[in-house]
Amino acid sequence: MWIADNWNDYQVIDCSNGEKLERWGDYLLVRPDPQVIWDTPKTHKGWRNMNGHYHRSAKGGGEWEFFDLPEQWTIHYGTLTFNLKPFSFKHTGLFPEQAANWDWFGEKIRKAGRPVKVLNLFAYTGGATLAAAAAGAQVTHVDASKGMVSWAKENAASSGLAESSIRWLVDDCMKFVEREIRRGNHYDAIIMDPPSYGRGPKGEIWKIEDAIHPLVKLCAQLLSDDPLFFLINSYTTGLAPAVLTYMISVELLPKYGGHVDSQEIGLPVKESGLVLPCGASGRWSKN
């Protein structure tokens, strides 16, 4: 498992009975987590003194209950600054477990010794975009949500990266990739964090089990002659790490060689000393 254990401003304090207690900077949040199927005693005082609690509804969805929480605040990861705010369906605008991947590809970019062009698909609020830009890459950031791209730009400005080589695009990721192939454009690295399920701007249905392999096959055509890395993130329980390894391997190894590895990603839990699983990632690189 790849563990995001270099945070100072974020921490999973405890998790029990379908919920996790987290510290986001100066504030404590309790949010639901379907992976937390154990029922251990909630003895930490944070369970009784949280600043925000997301209550899941039995009918689906849910709502926040706030106790002295600002509308927006920031946390830091190294030189990066992220603007946080609680919004629909329990999220805050950041997935801290992804820092394990930021560290991995950031080191590869810094050690490349050459210009690196990165394509970040389903790029959300820009965590991976900022990590790649801070390491020196030229990044193309693509997300279908105008609001998320605006949020990512705010994070870039807060991180001192507003003037970096980042191209911001509001677009359907699959259609953008198809157009880039026709244009003859290429990238040295590709990152994708596709949703499990979603709808495109014209009502197109995205279901990851059906759509992910066709997208990977297309993205393989966008890689340069000497690519640096390829990264897929998945929060879909049906896509085990071994599935990611197989899919990436059949598309990239015959042409580029290199190495594929896929693992669960996770966050350390302070109270138990154990690791909370938070999805999976598949990585390809030359070495």
pTM to 2 decimal places: 0.94
What is the predicted pLDDT for the residue at 201? 61
Give the distance between the most distant pair of CA atoms in the chain.
Answer: 58
User: Which is nearest to 234 in space by CA: 208, 202, 254?
Assistant: 208
CATH topology of domain 96-285: Rossmann fold (3.40.50)
> CATH 2.60.40.1180 in the chain, residues?
2-84
Strand 138-143 relative to strand 117-121: parallel, antiparallel, unpaired?
parallel
114-173 pLDDT tens trace: 999 999 999 999 999 999 999 999 999 999 999 999 999 999 999 999 888 999 999 999
CATH topology of domain 2-84: Immunoglobulin-like (2.60.40)
Alpha-carbon gap, residue 186 to 167, rounded angstroms: 14
* Residues of the chain with confidence (pLDDT) below 50: none
User: Which is nearest to 190 in space by CA: 220, 161, 225, 165?
Assistant: 220
> CATH 3.40.50.150 in the chain, residues?
96-285
